[in-house]
Structure 1
Amino acid sequence: GSDAERTNSQGTTSTTVSGLGPGSTTRSFIENPWNPRLNYAPSDFDIRHVIATTWVYALPFGRGKWLGGKAGARLDEIIGGWQLSGLGRWTSALPFSVVDTRGFTNNFLFNDFMVETGPVQSGLFHDPVTGAPIAFPNPAAVVAGVSITPNVPATLTPLRFAYPGEAGSRNAFRGQGFFGIDASLAKTWKVNERVALKFAWDVFNVTNSVRFDTNSIDNGSDDGGFGLYSGTLTYPRVQQFSLRFTF
């Protein structure tokens, strides 16, 4: 959809009021309306690679199958007819930006993106003291020269503030992508042509994997929690059992 459909009144995809800090790493508004091309960058929802798979497998148990091939009718009703199905999805990392939270270079409504002047490693790392998930190996070093840090000149940081007329480096960094596997084990008993009973065991996020959301990163250059993830793309593993009667 259009920017108006994707964003709120602050020009962000978040529901925060200020549009800065956690939950606002993707922003679609034009930083410099006199030169919209400065915003040219990967889209806020850019996913370069996706691997998706689905499967349905009839378990080899029961009459005429590899195991229990000579089972009687009663035993076959128990061990035969089971089906394993599922789906899996993996994506490459989603993008995010770092925002100048100390000034308004182009206007007094939106802060600009920081300008990347050197290589910055991003992804998923953990704070060596607290173990908290962070987007940079050393967040403090990324913004050391532009934060209020005594005796650290701006030339020592790989980021700088945008100059008037610039838009900064939009979506220059990558966090994590999505990964998840869902599976189901099911069996149907036919009572007659119109009546059937189906049992299913469904498991969502089978591997109980955790992937952090780039849109939850505290991306304000002068924020105390800069680089910290506060939300996930995935949910903890959930299991459900169901019994369906069809008539």
Structure 2
Amino acid sequence: MTPGLDNAGRPYFARFNRTATSNGWRKTDTRYDSIQVKLDRRFANGLLWTNSYTLSRAKDYTNDNGDIGTPADVQRSYGLSDFDRTHSFVSSFVYELPWLKDAKGAAGAILGGWQVAGIFIAQSGTPVDIRSGGATLRAPGNQQRPNLNGGQRVIGDIGPGQQYFDISVYSAAPANTFGNMTRNAGPRGPGYVNLDASVVKRIKANDRYVLELRVDAFNVTNTPHFANPGRDFGTATFGQVTNTLGPGDGATGPRLVRFGARFTF
């Protein structure tokens, strides 16, 4: 495949005057490097606490076994993985409140048997794969990207009409040539912060009959989880964050509170 020749640059078109579907395989590789730190408190005095931090970098040619975006120059597709997050911190705990947990009678039934739990996640953002239209590249089947002129800068503004990153440092590539940007070489999108928590009350009639009442709250702080900014160079929403993530994206949506009960006998 040769940029600038349109279909004439396709080997089957040049030979047979037609396009054809073909499958090809190229030896590629993925790489993951990380430093992981974990600090745990074993369950004691009613408290269990776990903490983990990961500093990592993941690189590959494509996401989820998809097609390589630049078959004319495969190395341009090698870059940070779509899911790459440099920093990831997770902390979780379970705590059985100590007061009156063994008390009998009304005081024990009301004030004892409480448990709280939670999980906190804080992660840096994923890379933005900045792209542009491929009409001037004239290489069907290849993804075009713009030129980067200088350093990239995150502004951090959120919402339609607001720039999350500075778009003035990008320009269209000359006709018939690839831009100098490679896959996932843009700035990183918004980070992800979330807190889930639960409160459980156990009421024991005796050792056999136990009623458990619970409240589970997802995204306790109702923090919006923003999607990456628009990645298409030259469009009206380029560099703007206009969407949020939800359960379909593997993220927690707006605050959700769930009530439950269980009777054990």
**TM bucket by the smaller chain?**
0.5 to 0.7
- For residues 227 and 118 of structure 2, the distance between their equivalents in structure 1, rounded to whole angstroms, comes to 24
**Percent of counterpart pairs with the same letter?**
29
1:219 and 2:219 aligned: no
Give the Å deviation of 1:34: 4.1
Q: Which of 197, 201, 217 does residue 215 from structure 2 map onto?
A: 201
1:135 and 2:173 aligned: no
SS in 1 for 2:211: strand
Higher RCO (CA < 8 A, seq sep 6+): 1
CA contact (8 A) 1:114 1:169 kept: no
- Write the letter of the residue equivalent to 1:115: N
- For residues 218 and 63 of structure 1, the distance between their equivalents in structure 2, rounded to whole angstroms, comes to 53
- Write the letter of the residue equivalent to 1:236: P
Q: Which of 8, 16, 32 does residue 70 from structure 2 map onto?
A: 32
- Write the letter of the residue equivalent to 1:48: T
Cα deviation, 1:205-235, whole Å, max 9, x if unaligned, reads 1111122111xx3222121222222322341
Give the Å deviation of 1:122: 2.6
SS in 1 for 2:71: coil
Q: Which range is displaced more, 93-102 or 203-212?
A: 93-102
Partner of 1:43: 81
Give the Å deviation of 1:106: 5.6
Greater strand proportion: 2
SS in 1 for 2:79: coil
Task: Please show how residues 223-242 of structure 1 align to structure 2 within 5 Å.
Answer: 223-233=235-245, 234-242=252-260
CA contact (8 A) 2:126 2:189 kept: yes
Partner of 1:75: 107
TM-score by length of 2: 0.64
TM-score by length of 1: 0.68
Partner of 2:13: none
- For residues 134 and 140 of structure 2, the distance between their equivalents in structure 1, rounded to whole angstroms, comes to 12
User: How has the CA–CA distance of structure 1 residues 166 and 98 changed in structure 2, closer, same or farther, with 3 Å as cutoff?
Assistant: closer
CA contact (8 A) 1:117 1:160 kept: no
- For residues 84 and 92 of structure 1, the distance between their equivalents in structure 2, rounded to whole angstroms, comes to 27
Residue correspondences, number: 194
